[in-house]
Amino acid sequence: MFDVYEKLKELGLQLPKVPAKGGVYRPSVRFGENLVYISGCGMSCDKPVNGVFGREFKKEEGIEFTKSAMLNVLAVLEAEIGDLNKVKQPVKILTFVASDNKFYDQPYVANGGSQLLVDLFGEDLAPSRSAIGVNVLPGNIPVEIEGIFEIKE
């Protein structure tokens, strides 16, 4: 029996404030019996971080980017369900990686986000995932993650 917030503390992390919305949508939607969809989140940053992998960024930098984006996903999820210890499992994440035509390491970049979920919820509860390259993301951000989580009854 573990506590997600203690795990976060052990990792030296804390949830950011829920990110500002960038359009007409709900950051999260609860549906079905116990499912929550989280709208696509970018990373948090004090100053703008813009560009694509293979030009402005190397894959190694991406680990922190997707970790930060996943923390935003979790902040939105907490706002929806009140307590991250209610998470039964991460179901699926879709990680978009802004990429030059010659950048092929989207999975490496995406690992920063899914590893955080594994660190918090355990290896057995890793999410399913797709990681894809796109030529450009909103506001020229380098990564965006959306996800579905299942909540305990």
CB nearer to a copy of itself: give 84 or 127.
Answer: 127
Q: At residue 13, what is the residue type? A: L
CB nearer to a copy of itself: give 45 or 139.
Answer: 139
At its nearest, how many Å lie between a copy of itself and the CB of residue 117?
A: 8
At its nearest, how many Å lie between a copy of itself and the CB of residue 13?
A: 17
Residues lying near a copy of itself in the complex (CB under 8 A) are found at: 22-29, 31-35, 37-40, 52, 89-94, 96, 99-108, 110-111, 114-115, 118, 126-140, 144, 146, 148, 150
Give the DSSP letter of residue 64: H
- Contact assessment for residue 125 and residue 90, using Cβ atoms and an 8 Å cutoff: yes
At its nearest, how many Å lie between a copy of itself and the CB of residue 58?
A: 16
| Phi, psi for 144 (deg, rounded to 5) | -145, 135
Which residues does residue 151 pair with via DSSP β-bridges, in sequence order?
A: 87
Measure CA 135 to chain center.
19
